[in-house]
Structure 1
Amino acid sequence: MKRSIKEEDEEYSLLWGELSWCRGPMIGQGAFGSVYRAELKKPRAFGSVVAVKLADPLKANSLMWETKVLDALQGCPHVIQTFGADTTETTNGVVLYNVLLEFSLGGSLADLIVKSGFHGLSEGVVRKHTKSLLLGLKHIHAHGFVHCDLKPDNHQNVYIYGVQEAFSDVWALGCTVLIMLTGTVPWTTITGSKEYESLMSQIGSGSVPDIPDEISKAAPDFLRCCFGKNLMDRMTADALLDHPFLVGLDETDSYSHVQLSRDLVSPLLYSGLI
């Protein structure tokens, strides 16, 4: 692999991996690494564009763990796929650990909400995205992991889970569905520590955020099933797939990240994998 992070600095693979690739522009940055667009020198069945997430090898434990988890979750069209790892070195001696990931050209749910002018998505579209999210969560939970950071602009962060943590994913799913429907975050914007403490108290007491009136009868009940205070009252991802809110949707009526990229090609920028 030969390309630079900076234009003046060439980069070479130390592993001579199966995929030969060239790094392109940065498309995202997070706590554990930066994400770049990259081109494969020889296109594969999944295309010629991938996302490459990198980190300093001395600080790459989280990224290496993330890679192992994604390897264990391969095969589900509703979970980002990984194509292996590569270690590179620039001509000025900088060594980088890189993970090659599926590139979701269509962007994230947050991008679609922004495109809507923060008015929210139509309920029909929300139902399809909700089913896709649930199918992904069902797959993740079945393999003993939990997402832990489900939100419209995040596609990853998967961890080993216990039962309580798995149910926290369902609560986060409810928030995500509500954001898709309304275009705004639940509850009032927090501006100080007292407001934050008040909000945490409300959530802890089982408070449910305001649910709009102009949605179908099934939608509010679906959201309440996600927000149940007691775990026994909160449905699992698998059970929610049979909720009336999603009735009438078959396997083709869900947006995988692949379908999102094919059906919604636009100037949206990829912002997941951060």
Structure 2
Amino acid sequence: MRLNPNVQKPEMHKNTPEMNFVKSLGKGAYGSVDLYGYTKDDGTMFYTAVKISDHQNYDSVDTEFRILSELRGCPGIVQLFGNSLLQGIDFNGTKVYKMAMEYAAAGTLTSFIRRNRKLSDSVIRDFTRAILQGLVSIHSHGYVHCDLKPDNLLLFPRYDEGTWYCSYELKISDFGLSIKAGDKSDCWETDSPFVGTHAYMSPESVRDGGTVDKTLDLWSLGCIHPWSGVSVDDLKLRLLDENAPEIPETVPCGARQFMEKCFARKPEERGSASELLLHPFLIGDQRIVDAGAGGERRRVGSRIRKSPPKLDGITKAPLKLKIISSKASQIKRMSNKPLKLRILPPRSA
């Protein structure tokens, strides 16, 4: 998307509270993301993630800001703060543009999988459902995300101090490469025919010269699944050969059928995000209360071994979590069941 010279440059709000730098959250091709905090009127701390881009990458951050503004309040989408980009100066004296968003304290799906290693089928279903709900929001506004991958999926912990229960809400982030469905991406080049991260791109997006369709995101969703067992290098090779990733035999039948749907050779056979939400793999015993809005929303839950820190603080070390079912009835049964203890005599020296 080209910069419109008639668009007024963003300016710093006069009433913007003073924010203090906390730490760097990461760097990407179009800028960096830092964590900032400020003290609210009641004395508590509020934290926000701030994406920072220089003037050379203004088009990308401006595109992302405009799309997130349209998706404000939509389920499954990282939320934007403020009504305009903020303009500032970095430590080198270079003009930069800042975009404030909600802070995902649990990090990315990539880091979550690394910490928890193997995820249960129920957790995978919940995460998949959340991604599709976000895609329904994106596609209903006429956009294609174009860079759906674990690094761009954020997890937000929600703590219940009474039960010591932690649930997770997954949201899609990073819309710097997103464009309108049917448009051609400016990123596509003959010697580098990829729109986004090539390991997650669909064959037709490479073959057809960069024309982008909504079904591209559905192919990317199939590549994300943590139980697929497919390496990134294998995804690259199969993409160049226009072959779908090989699904391991260990993948459950329902999940296999879901992935095969995502990897359909003909894009139109993949269906839509709304249709995939009704796939048997995701429905199970779930009651779909509103298929048009993406179905029933659930959060992935886990019980932690000690009382969680306050949300207004920053956790210095990651919590070790054990993933269990998020059904409230199971939590109730666990809390009512008496504990059985076995006392062992002290060991002799």
What TM-score do you get using the length of structure 2 for normalisation?
A: 0.60
Per the alignment, residue 231 of structure 2 pairs with 185
Q: Tell me: higher relative CO, structure 1 or 2? Use CA pairs within 8 A at least 6 residues apart.
A: 1
Between Structure 1 and Structure 2, the one with more helix by share is 1
Deviations 1:197-249, CA, capped at 9 Å, x for gaps:
xx33532xxx3322233343211111111000112321211100000011134
Q: How does 1:114-125 map to 2 (within 5 A)?
A: 114-117=114-117, 120-125=118-123
RMSD: 2.8
Unaligned runs of 5+ in 1: 1-12, 191-195, 257-261, 269-274
* Match status 1:237 vs 2:273: yes
Q: Distance in 2 between matches of 1:43 and 1:223?
A: 49
Q: How does 1:41-120 map to 2 (within 5 A)?
A: 41-42=39-40, 48-57=46-55, 59-84=57-82, 85-89=85-89, 93-117=93-117, 120=118
Code of the residue aligned with 2:219 in structure 1: it is W
Q: 1:96 to 1:41 in 2, by over 3 A?
A: farther
Which secondary structure does the structure 2 equivalent of 1:82 belong to? coil
Q: Distance in 2 between matches of 1:245 and 1:145?
A: 26
Q: Distance in 1 between matches of 2:318 and 2:230?
A: 22
Q: Distance in 2 between matches of 1:92 and 1:149?
A: 30
Q: Distance in 2 between matches of 1:91 and 1:26?
A: 14
Which secondary structure does the structure 1 equivalent of 2:133 belong to? helix
Tell whether the 8 Å contact from 2:69 to 2:80 is kept in structure 1 after alignment.
Answer: yes
The alpha-carbon deviation at position 95 of structure 1 amounts to: 2.9
Tell whether the 8 Å contact from 1:113 to 1:183 is kept in structure 2 after alignment.
Answer: no
Counterpart among 285, 292, 298 of residue 253 in structure 1: 298
Code of the residue aligned with 2:239 in structure 1: it is M
In the comparison of the two structures, how many residue pairs are matched?
233
Poorly superposed stretches of 4+, deviation over 6 Å: none
Per the alignment, residue 10 of structure 1 pairs with none
* Match status 1:160 vs 2:206: no
Which secondary structure does the structure 2 equivalent of 1:208 belong to? coil
Counterpart among 255, 273, 287 of residue 219 in structure 1: 255
The alpha-carbon deviation at position 21 of structure 1 amounts to: 1.9
Q: 1:60 to 1:186 in 2, by over 3 A?
A: closer
Code of the residue aligned with 1:89 in structure 2: it is I
Tell whether the 8 Å contact from 2:130 to 2:297 is kept in structure 1 after alignment.
Answer: no
